[in-house]
Amino acid sequence: MLQYRKSTDVRVDSVKIYYLPVRMRMPLKFGPESVSSVTCVRVAVTVAGADGNTATGWGETPLSVTWAWPSATMSYADRYEAMTDFCGRLAVAWQSQSSTGHALEIGHSFIDGVMPGMIEAFNADRGDEAMPHLAALIVASAFDIATHDAYGKLHDVDVYDTYNAEYLSDDLDHYLTAEEGSGVSFVGKHPADFFVDSVPTSMPVWHLVGGLDPLEDSDRNGSEPDDGYPVTLRQWITRDGLDCLKIKLRGNDSQWDFERVVRVGEMAIELGVTELSTDFNCTAKTTDYVNEILDRLKAEYPEISDRILYVEQPFPYDLEKHQIDTHSVSQRKPLFLDESAHDWRFVALGKRLGWTGVALKTCKTQTGALLSLCWAKAHGMPLMVQDLTNPMLAQIPHVRLAAYAGTIMGVESNGMQFYPEASAPEAKVHPGIYQRRGGRLDLSTIRGAGFGYRLDEIQRDLPLSD
Protein backbone atom coordinates (compact mmCIF):
# COMPACT_ATOMS: atom_id res chain seq x y z
CA MET A 1 0.00 0.00 0.00
CA LEU A 2 1.48 3.35 -1.05
CA GLN A 3 1.98 5.86 1.76
CA TYR A 4 1.22 9.53 1.16
CA ARG A 5 2.33 11.94 3.88
CA LYS A 6 0.72 14.99 2.25
CA SER A 7 -2.32 15.40 0.06
CA THR A 8 0.02 16.97 -2.53
CA ASP A 9 2.22 13.86 -2.78
CA VAL A 10 2.57 11.98 -6.06
CA ARG A 11 3.97 8.72 -7.39
CA VAL A 12 5.49 7.90 -10.77
CA ASP A 13 2.92 6.26 -13.02
CA SER A 14 4.65 5.83 -16.40
CA VAL A 15 7.73 6.81 -18.42
CA LYS A 16 8.47 7.32 -22.12
CA ILE A 17 11.85 8.03 -23.78
CA TYR A 18 12.62 9.84 -27.03
CA TYR A 19 16.03 10.30 -28.69
CA LEU A 20 16.57 13.48 -30.69
CA PRO A 21 19.80 13.61 -32.75
CA VAL A 22 21.33 17.06 -33.30
CA ARG A 23 24.21 17.90 -35.65
CA MET A 24 26.56 20.74 -34.72
CA ARG A 25 27.37 23.44 -37.25
CA MET A 26 30.93 23.62 -35.89
CA PRO A 27 32.85 21.06 -33.79
CA LEU A 28 33.04 21.49 -30.02
CA LYS A 29 36.19 20.42 -28.19
CA PHE A 30 35.99 18.76 -24.76
CA GLY A 31 39.50 18.26 -23.40
CA PRO A 32 41.33 16.03 -25.90
CA GLU A 33 38.17 15.11 -27.88
CA SER A 34 36.05 16.99 -30.40
CA VAL A 35 32.42 16.29 -31.25
CA SER A 36 30.29 17.26 -34.24
CA SER A 37 26.92 15.89 -33.13
CA VAL A 38 24.99 15.00 -30.00
CA THR A 39 21.84 13.11 -29.12
CA CYS A 40 19.38 14.59 -26.66
CA VAL A 41 17.25 12.28 -24.57
CA ARG A 42 13.76 13.64 -23.93
CA VAL A 43 11.69 11.91 -21.26
CA ALA A 44 7.99 12.10 -20.46
CA VAL A 45 7.06 11.13 -16.89
CA THR A 46 3.43 10.82 -15.84
CA VAL A 47 2.74 11.15 -12.11
CA ALA A 48 -0.41 10.33 -10.19
CA GLY A 49 -1.62 12.13 -7.10
CA ALA A 50 -3.16 10.59 -4.01
CA ASP A 51 -6.57 11.39 -5.50
CA GLY A 52 -5.78 9.53 -8.73
CA ASN A 53 -5.37 12.59 -10.92
CA THR A 54 -2.43 12.47 -13.34
CA ALA A 55 -0.16 14.89 -15.19
CA THR A 56 2.71 14.42 -17.60
CA GLY A 57 5.95 16.37 -17.35
CA TRP A 58 8.96 16.60 -19.63
CA GLY A 59 12.71 16.59 -19.13
CA GLU A 60 15.56 16.68 -21.57
CA THR A 61 19.35 16.69 -21.65
CA PRO A 62 22.12 16.22 -24.20
CA LEU A 63 23.91 12.91 -23.74
CA SER A 64 27.27 14.64 -23.70
CA VAL A 65 29.48 11.56 -23.83
CA THR A 66 32.85 13.29 -24.14
CA TRP A 67 32.15 15.62 -21.21
CA ALA A 68 30.76 12.99 -18.84
CA TRP A 69 32.92 10.05 -19.85
CA PRO A 70 36.40 11.04 -21.07
CA SER A 71 38.30 7.95 -22.16
CA ALA A 72 41.52 7.07 -23.90
CA THR A 73 40.52 3.45 -24.46
CA MET A 74 36.82 3.36 -25.43
CA SER A 75 35.34 4.73 -28.65
CA TYR A 76 32.66 7.40 -28.61
CA ALA A 77 30.19 4.90 -30.09
CA ASP A 78 30.79 2.36 -27.32
CA ARG A 79 30.40 4.95 -24.58
CA TYR A 80 27.24 6.35 -26.20
CA GLU A 81 25.78 2.84 -26.52
CA ALA A 82 26.49 2.21 -22.84
CA MET A 83 24.76 5.44 -21.79
CA THR A 84 21.65 4.69 -23.87
CA ASP A 85 21.60 1.14 -22.51
CA PHE A 86 21.68 2.57 -18.98
CA CYS A 87 18.92 4.99 -20.00
CA GLY A 88 16.64 2.08 -20.88
CA ARG A 89 17.38 0.33 -17.61
CA LEU A 90 16.83 3.51 -15.66
CA ALA A 91 13.44 4.05 -17.33
CA VAL A 92 12.24 0.67 -16.05
CA ALA A 93 13.54 1.39 -12.55
CA TRP A 94 12.15 4.94 -12.45
CA GLN A 95 8.69 3.72 -13.42
CA SER A 96 8.68 0.81 -10.99
CA GLN A 97 9.85 2.70 -7.91
CA SER A 98 7.46 2.83 -4.96
CA SER A 99 8.48 6.24 -3.60
CA THR A 100 5.85 8.90 -3.07
CA GLY A 101 6.08 12.57 -2.20
CA HIS A 102 7.25 15.77 -3.81
CA ALA A 103 9.32 15.36 -6.98
CA LEU A 104 12.44 16.33 -5.01
CA GLU A 105 11.68 13.62 -2.45
CA ILE A 106 11.14 11.02 -5.18
CA GLY A 107 14.27 12.12 -7.01
CA HIS A 108 16.42 12.03 -3.88
CA SER A 109 15.13 8.60 -2.89
CA PHE A 110 16.05 7.22 -6.30
CA ILE A 111 19.35 9.03 -6.88
CA ASP A 112 20.69 8.32 -3.39
CA GLY A 113 18.99 5.01 -2.68
CA VAL A 114 18.51 3.14 -5.97
CA MET A 115 20.95 4.49 -8.55
CA PRO A 116 24.27 3.65 -6.82
CA GLY A 117 23.37 -0.05 -6.88
CA MET A 118 22.22 0.25 -10.50
CA ILE A 119 25.55 1.78 -11.55
CA GLU A 120 27.50 -0.92 -9.71
CA ALA A 121 25.44 -3.72 -11.28
CA PHE A 122 25.60 -2.12 -14.72
CA ASN A 123 29.38 -1.85 -14.61
CA ALA A 124 29.73 -5.39 -13.29
CA ASP A 125 27.61 -6.71 -16.18
CA ARG A 126 29.65 -4.85 -18.78
CA GLY A 127 33.09 -6.09 -17.83
CA ASP A 128 34.57 -3.10 -19.65
CA GLU A 129 35.65 0.38 -18.61
CA ALA A 130 33.29 1.50 -15.85
CA MET A 131 30.67 4.10 -16.68
CA PRO A 132 31.37 7.13 -14.46
CA HIS A 133 28.93 8.49 -11.92
CA LEU A 134 28.69 11.70 -13.94
CA ALA A 135 27.46 9.85 -17.04
CA ALA A 136 24.78 8.14 -14.96
CA LEU A 137 23.70 11.48 -13.51
CA ILE A 138 23.24 12.93 -17.00
CA VAL A 139 20.94 10.05 -17.89
CA ALA A 140 19.00 10.34 -14.64
CA SER A 141 18.59 14.10 -15.02
CA ALA A 142 16.05 13.84 -17.82
CA PHE A 143 13.80 11.60 -15.69
CA ASP A 144 14.23 13.78 -12.61
CA ILE A 145 13.53 17.05 -14.46
CA ALA A 146 10.43 15.51 -16.04
CA THR A 147 9.16 14.44 -12.62
CA HIS A 148 9.60 17.98 -11.24
CA ASP A 149 7.75 19.36 -14.27
CA ALA A 150 4.93 16.83 -13.84
CA TYR A 151 4.63 17.64 -10.14
CA GLY A 152 4.10 21.33 -10.87
CA LYS A 153 1.66 20.58 -13.66
CA LEU A 154 -0.41 18.24 -11.50
CA HIS A 155 -0.88 21.04 -8.98
CA ASP A 156 -1.17 23.72 -11.70
CA VAL A 157 1.64 25.75 -10.17
CA ASP A 158 5.14 26.88 -11.13
CA VAL A 159 7.41 24.14 -9.80
CA TYR A 160 9.65 26.77 -8.15
CA ASP A 161 6.67 27.72 -5.97
CA THR A 162 6.62 24.20 -4.52
CA TYR A 163 10.08 24.02 -2.96
CA ASN A 164 8.76 24.96 0.47
CA ALA A 165 7.07 23.55 3.59
CA GLU A 166 3.64 23.70 1.97
CA TYR A 167 4.56 20.94 -0.46
CA LEU A 168 7.68 19.26 1.02
CA SER A 169 7.33 16.88 3.96
CA ASP A 170 10.98 17.07 5.00
CA ASP A 171 13.20 20.07 5.66
CA LEU A 172 16.75 20.30 4.33
CA ASP A 173 18.15 18.79 7.52
CA HIS A 174 16.81 15.47 6.20
CA TYR A 175 19.13 15.70 3.16
CA LEU A 176 22.10 17.87 4.09
CA THR A 177 24.81 17.84 6.76
CA ALA A 178 26.42 21.16 7.63
CA GLU A 179 30.18 21.51 7.78
CA GLU A 180 31.38 20.89 11.32
CA GLY A 181 32.00 24.14 13.17
CA SER A 182 30.32 26.25 10.48
CA GLY A 183 27.37 27.28 12.63
CA VAL A 184 25.08 26.38 9.73
CA SER A 185 21.77 24.64 10.44
CA PHE A 186 19.31 23.26 7.91
CA VAL A 187 16.59 22.58 10.46
CA GLY A 188 13.34 24.16 9.31
CA LYS A 189 14.92 25.29 6.03
CA HIS A 190 13.72 24.47 2.52
CA PRO A 191 15.16 25.21 -0.93
CA ALA A 192 12.95 28.26 -1.35
CA ASP A 193 14.77 29.86 1.61
CA PHE A 194 17.94 29.98 -0.53
CA PHE A 195 16.42 31.46 -3.70
CA VAL A 196 16.95 35.10 -4.60
CA ASP A 197 14.31 37.52 -3.31
CA SER A 198 13.69 39.04 -6.74
CA VAL A 199 13.87 36.56 -9.62
CA PRO A 200 15.21 38.24 -12.77
CA THR A 201 13.57 37.87 -16.17
CA SER A 202 16.76 39.00 -17.94
CA MET A 203 20.31 37.82 -17.25
CA PRO A 204 23.85 38.36 -18.57
CA VAL A 205 24.90 35.45 -20.78
CA TRP A 206 28.29 33.78 -21.21
CA HIS A 207 29.67 32.74 -24.60
CA LEU A 208 31.91 29.68 -24.87
CA VAL A 209 35.17 30.18 -26.75
CA GLY A 210 36.00 26.63 -27.82
CA GLY A 211 39.54 25.46 -28.40
CA LEU A 212 38.84 25.11 -32.13
CA ASP A 213 36.87 28.34 -32.53
CA PRO A 214 38.37 30.95 -34.91
CA LEU A 215 38.83 34.28 -33.19
CA GLU A 216 39.41 36.34 -36.35
CA ASP A 217 38.88 35.83 -40.07
CA SER A 218 42.59 35.00 -40.33
CA ASP A 219 41.98 31.90 -38.17
CA ARG A 220 39.43 30.41 -40.55
CA ASN A 221 40.47 27.26 -42.40
CA GLY A 222 37.71 27.17 -44.99
CA SER A 223 35.66 24.41 -43.36
CA GLU A 224 33.43 26.79 -41.43
CA PRO A 225 29.72 26.88 -42.29
CA ASP A 226 28.21 29.59 -44.44
CA ASP A 227 24.75 29.57 -42.89
CA GLY A 228 24.13 33.17 -41.90
CA TYR A 229 25.34 32.77 -38.32
CA PRO A 230 28.59 34.21 -36.94
CA VAL A 231 31.73 32.12 -37.20
CA THR A 232 34.51 34.11 -35.55
CA LEU A 233 34.59 35.32 -31.97
CA ARG A 234 34.73 38.92 -33.19
CA GLN A 235 31.50 38.37 -35.13
CA TRP A 236 29.74 36.82 -32.12
CA ILE A 237 30.76 39.62 -29.77
CA THR A 238 29.64 42.26 -32.23
CA ARG A 239 26.33 40.65 -33.15
CA ASP A 240 25.23 39.52 -29.66
CA GLY A 241 26.71 42.39 -27.65
CA LEU A 242 28.55 39.90 -25.46
CA ASP A 243 30.04 40.94 -22.11
CA CYS A 244 31.13 37.53 -20.79
CA LEU A 245 33.48 34.97 -22.42
CA LYS A 246 34.41 31.51 -21.12
CA ILE A 247 37.72 30.36 -22.62
CA LYS A 248 38.25 26.61 -23.11
CA LEU A 249 41.90 25.63 -22.53
CA ARG A 250 43.97 22.50 -23.07
CA GLY A 251 45.41 22.00 -19.60
CA ASN A 252 48.50 20.23 -20.97
CA ASP A 253 50.15 22.96 -23.06
CA SER A 254 50.81 26.01 -20.89
CA GLN A 255 52.17 28.19 -23.68
CA TRP A 256 49.15 27.54 -25.88
CA ASP A 257 46.80 28.18 -22.95
CA PHE A 258 48.56 31.42 -22.04
CA GLU A 259 48.54 32.70 -25.61
CA ARG A 260 44.89 31.75 -26.05
CA VAL A 261 43.86 33.75 -22.97
CA VAL A 262 45.94 36.70 -24.16
CA ARG A 263 44.42 36.68 -27.65
CA VAL A 264 40.87 36.45 -26.32
CA GLY A 265 41.65 38.98 -23.59
CA GLU A 266 43.04 41.53 -26.03
CA MET A 267 39.91 41.24 -28.16
CA ALA A 268 37.80 41.57 -25.02
CA ILE A 269 39.53 44.82 -24.11
CA GLU A 270 39.17 46.15 -27.65
CA LEU A 271 35.45 45.32 -27.91
CA GLY A 272 34.41 46.16 -24.34
CA VAL A 273 33.90 42.65 -22.98
CA THR A 274 34.15 42.96 -19.20
CA GLU A 275 34.21 39.37 -17.88
CA LEU A 276 36.38 36.35 -18.66
CA SER A 277 36.66 32.88 -17.19
CA THR A 278 39.01 29.99 -17.94
CA ASP A 279 37.87 26.38 -18.22
CA PHE A 280 40.46 23.58 -18.29
CA ASN A 281 37.85 20.76 -18.35
CA CYS A 282 39.70 18.63 -15.77
CA THR A 283 42.89 18.40 -17.84
CA ALA A 284 45.43 20.14 -15.57
CA LYS A 285 47.30 17.78 -13.27
CA THR A 286 48.93 20.21 -10.81
CA THR A 287 48.18 23.52 -9.14
CA ASP A 288 51.54 24.82 -10.39
CA TYR A 289 50.30 24.55 -13.97
CA VAL A 290 47.35 26.84 -13.29
CA ASN A 291 49.20 29.17 -10.91
CA GLU A 292 51.99 29.83 -13.39
CA ILE A 293 49.51 30.88 -16.08
CA LEU A 294 47.59 33.11 -13.66
CA ASP A 295 50.78 34.69 -12.30
CA ARG A 296 52.16 35.32 -15.76
CA LEU A 297 48.91 36.96 -16.86
CA LYS A 298 48.91 39.18 -13.79
CA ALA A 299 52.52 40.23 -14.39
CA GLU A 300 52.43 40.70 -18.17
CA TYR A 301 48.77 41.46 -18.91
CA PRO A 302 47.20 42.88 -15.73
CA GLU A 303 44.16 44.27 -17.55
CA ILE A 304 43.34 40.81 -18.88
CA SER A 305 44.03 39.24 -15.49
CA ASP A 306 41.62 41.68 -13.84
CA ARG A 307 38.86 40.56 -16.20
CA ILE A 308 39.12 36.89 -15.15
CA LEU A 309 36.18 36.46 -12.80
CA TYR A 310 36.85 32.83 -11.91
CA VAL A 311 38.68 29.66 -12.91
CA GLU A 312 36.60 26.58 -13.68
CA GLN A 313 37.52 22.95 -12.89
CA PRO A 314 41.18 22.65 -13.87
CA PHE A 315 41.77 19.33 -12.11
CA PRO A 316 40.54 15.72 -12.55
CA TYR A 317 36.88 15.44 -11.68
CA ASP A 318 37.17 12.32 -9.51
CA LEU A 319 37.55 14.43 -6.40
CA GLU A 320 37.79 11.51 -4.00
CA LYS A 321 40.61 9.90 -5.96
CA HIS A 322 42.45 13.16 -6.74
CA GLN A 323 42.30 15.14 -3.48
CA ILE A 324 44.45 18.03 -4.63
CA ASP A 325 44.90 20.90 -2.21
CA THR A 326 43.78 23.86 -4.33
CA HIS A 327 44.12 26.70 -1.83
CA SER A 328 47.03 28.21 -3.76
CA VAL A 329 44.83 28.58 -6.86
CA SER A 330 41.82 29.98 -5.02
CA GLN A 331 44.08 32.57 -3.36
CA ARG A 332 44.70 33.92 -6.86
CA LYS A 333 41.21 33.63 -8.38
CA PRO A 334 37.86 32.15 -7.30
CA LEU A 335 37.97 28.44 -8.14
CA PHE A 336 34.71 26.76 -9.17
CA LEU A 337 33.83 23.08 -9.11
CA ASP A 338 32.03 21.85 -12.21
CA GLU A 339 32.47 18.22 -13.26
CA SER A 340 33.42 17.29 -9.68
CA ALA A 341 30.26 18.72 -8.12
CA HIS A 342 28.18 15.54 -8.45
CA ASP A 343 26.18 16.40 -5.35
CA TRP A 344 26.42 18.41 -2.13
CA ARG A 345 28.80 15.89 -0.51
CA PHE A 346 31.36 16.50 -3.26
CA VAL A 347 30.80 20.25 -2.85
CA ALA A 348 31.61 19.85 0.85
CA LEU A 349 34.77 17.88 0.04
CA GLY A 350 35.76 20.49 -2.52
CA LYS A 351 35.36 23.28 0.01
CA ARG A 352 37.72 21.49 2.39
CA LEU A 353 40.26 21.12 -0.44
CA GLY A 354 40.20 24.85 -1.21
CA TRP A 355 37.59 25.22 -3.94
CA THR A 356 35.61 28.41 -3.39
CA GLY A 357 32.54 28.17 -5.65
CA VAL A 358 30.20 25.78 -7.44
CA ALA A 359 29.03 25.66 -11.05
CA LEU A 360 25.58 24.07 -10.98
CA LYS A 361 24.19 22.09 -13.91
CA THR A 362 20.67 20.73 -14.35
CA CYS A 363 22.22 17.76 -16.22
CA LYS A 364 23.23 16.45 -12.79
CA THR A 365 19.50 16.37 -11.91
CA GLN A 366 17.25 19.17 -10.75
CA THR A 367 17.08 17.52 -7.33
CA GLY A 368 20.84 17.40 -6.94
CA ALA A 369 21.33 20.93 -8.25
CA LEU A 370 18.86 22.32 -5.72
CA LEU A 371 20.47 20.52 -2.79
CA SER A 372 23.96 21.62 -3.88
CA LEU A 373 22.67 25.17 -4.27
CA CYS A 374 21.38 25.17 -0.70
CA TRP A 375 24.51 23.64 0.84
CA ALA A 376 26.82 25.99 -1.04
CA LYS A 377 24.89 29.16 -0.27
CA ALA A 378 24.54 28.22 3.38
CA HIS A 379 28.33 27.88 3.56
CA GLY A 380 29.09 31.10 1.71
CA MET A 381 30.15 29.56 -1.60
CA PRO A 382 29.24 31.64 -4.69
CA LEU A 383 27.41 30.00 -7.58
CA MET A 384 27.40 29.84 -11.34
CA VAL A 385 25.06 27.89 -13.60
CA GLN A 386 26.90 26.30 -16.51
CA ASP A 387 25.67 25.00 -19.81
CA LEU A 388 25.88 21.56 -21.38
CA THR A 389 25.24 23.20 -24.76
CA ASN A 390 21.53 22.85 -24.00
CA PRO A 391 19.13 23.09 -26.95
CA MET A 392 15.35 22.71 -27.14
CA LEU A 393 13.55 21.98 -23.86
CA ALA A 394 16.83 21.44 -21.98
CA GLN A 395 17.44 25.19 -22.08
CA ILE A 396 14.41 26.14 -19.98
CA PRO A 397 15.15 24.38 -16.62
CA HIS A 398 18.78 25.44 -17.14
CA VAL A 399 18.08 29.17 -17.31
CA ARG A 400 15.41 28.97 -14.61
CA LEU A 401 17.90 27.45 -12.16
CA ALA A 402 20.25 30.36 -12.84
CA ALA A 403 17.48 32.90 -12.30
CA TYR A 404 16.53 31.47 -8.90
CA ALA A 405 20.04 30.58 -7.71
CA GLY A 406 21.56 34.05 -7.72
CA THR A 407 24.82 33.54 -9.61
CA ILE A 408 27.92 35.72 -9.58
CA MET A 409 27.22 36.70 -13.19
CA GLY A 410 24.25 35.47 -15.20
CA VAL A 411 24.25 32.14 -16.99
CA GLU A 412 26.28 30.32 -19.62
CA SER A 413 24.37 29.49 -22.80
CA ASN A 414 25.97 28.29 -26.01
CA GLY A 415 23.44 26.09 -27.80
CA MET A 416 22.88 28.97 -30.23
CA GLN A 417 26.56 28.83 -31.17
CA PHE A 418 26.68 25.16 -32.11
CA TYR A 419 23.15 24.21 -33.24
CA PRO A 420 20.87 27.28 -33.41
CA GLU A 421 18.37 25.68 -35.81
CA ALA A 422 17.85 22.72 -33.48
CA SER A 423 15.73 24.92 -31.21
CA ALA A 424 13.72 26.67 -33.93
CA PRO A 425 10.28 25.39 -32.76
CA GLU A 426 10.99 26.35 -29.14
CA ALA A 427 12.44 29.71 -30.20
CA LYS A 428 9.14 30.70 -31.81
CA VAL A 429 7.56 30.63 -28.35
CA HIS A 430 10.61 31.72 -26.31
CA PRO A 431 12.80 33.82 -28.63
CA GLY A 432 14.71 35.50 -25.82
CA ILE A 433 16.29 32.34 -24.40
CA TYR A 434 17.49 30.93 -27.72
CA GLN A 435 19.18 34.10 -28.93
CA ARG A 436 21.46 36.52 -27.10
CA ARG A 437 20.89 40.21 -27.55
CA GLY A 438 22.73 43.00 -25.77
CA GLY A 439 24.73 40.33 -23.97
CA ARG A 440 21.65 38.98 -22.21
CA LEU A 441 18.92 36.34 -22.28
CA ASP A 442 15.25 37.30 -21.90
CA LEU A 443 13.24 34.82 -19.81
CA SER A 444 10.00 36.79 -19.78
CA THR A 445 8.10 34.33 -22.00
CA ILE A 446 8.49 31.43 -19.54
CA ARG A 447 5.25 30.99 -17.61
CA GLY A 448 2.69 28.46 -16.53
CA ALA A 449 2.70 25.24 -14.52
CA GLY A 450 5.78 23.09 -14.07
CA PHE A 451 8.84 24.67 -15.67
CA GLY A 452 6.72 26.95 -17.83
CA TYR A 453 7.64 25.28 -21.11
CA ARG A 454 4.31 26.21 -22.77
CA LEU A 455 4.71 22.90 -24.54
CA ASP A 456 1.27 22.98 -26.15
CA GLU A 457 2.41 26.01 -28.17
CA ILE A 458 5.66 24.40 -29.39
CA GLN A 459 5.23 22.64 -32.72
CA ARG A 460 7.77 19.82 -32.58
CA ASP A 461 7.28 16.35 -34.04
CA LEU A 462 8.88 13.72 -31.83
CA PRO A 463 10.24 10.37 -33.05
CA LEU A 464 8.64 7.17 -31.85
CA SER A 465 9.27 6.58 -28.15
CA ASP A 466 11.91 4.01 -27.26
As a whole number of angstroms, the distance between CA 259 and CA 211 comes to 12
What local confidence, expressed as pLDDT, does residue 35 receive? Answer: 84
Domain ranges of the chain: 10-169, 191-457
> Which candidate, 109, 172, 177, 102, places its Cα nearest to that of 140?
109
Tell me the C-alpha distance between 15 and 147, whole Å: 10
Indicate whether 1 pLDDT > 70.
no
* Alpha-carbon gap, residue 57 to 48, rounded angstroms: 11
Tens-digit pLDDT profile for residues 360-414: 999 999 999 999 999 999 999 999 999 999 999 999 999 999 999 999 999 999 9
Identify the CA nearest to 104 among candidates 295, 312, 372, 387: 372
Cβ atoms of residues 9 and 100 within 8 Å: yes
Q: Cβ(439)–Cβ(244) under 8 Å?
A: yes
Give the chain's mean pLDDT. 96
Q: Kindly state the average pLDDT of the residues 95-101.
A: 95
User: Going along 249-387, which residue ranges are E strands?
Assistant: 275-279, 308-312, 335-337, 357-360, 383-385
**CATH class of the domain comprising 10-169:** alpha beta
The answer to whether the pTM exceeds 0.95 is yes
- pLDDT tens-digit series, residues 211-266: 989 999 999 999 999 999 999 999 999 999 999 999 999 999 999 999 999 999 99
- Contact 449/253 with Cβ under 8 angstroms? no
Alpha carbons 158 and 179: distance in angstroms, whole number:
32
16 forms bridges with which residues in the sheet? Answer: 44
Distance CA 273, CA 247 (A): 13
pLDDT in tens, 125-178: 988 899 999 999 999 999 999 999 999 999 999 999 999 999 999 999 999 999
CB 251 within 8 A of CB 311: no
Q: Is 324 exposed, middle or buried (0-12, 13-18, 19+ CB in 10 A)?
A: middle
> Is residue 278 very low, low, confident or very high in pLDDT (cuts 50, 70, 90)?
very high
Q: Are 84 and 136 in contact (CB under 8 A)?
A: no
Domain 191-457 belongs to what architecture? Answer: Alpha-Beta Barrel (3.20)
Would you report the helix, strand and coil content of the chain in percent, each value rounded to 5? 40, 20, 40
**Residue predicted with more confidence, 77 or 464:** 77
pLDDT digits 0-9 by tens, 408-433: 999 999 999 999 999 999 999 999 99
pLDDT 10s digits, 25-65:
988 877 678 888 999 999 999 999 999 999 999 999 999 99
DSSP letter (8 states) at residue 421: G
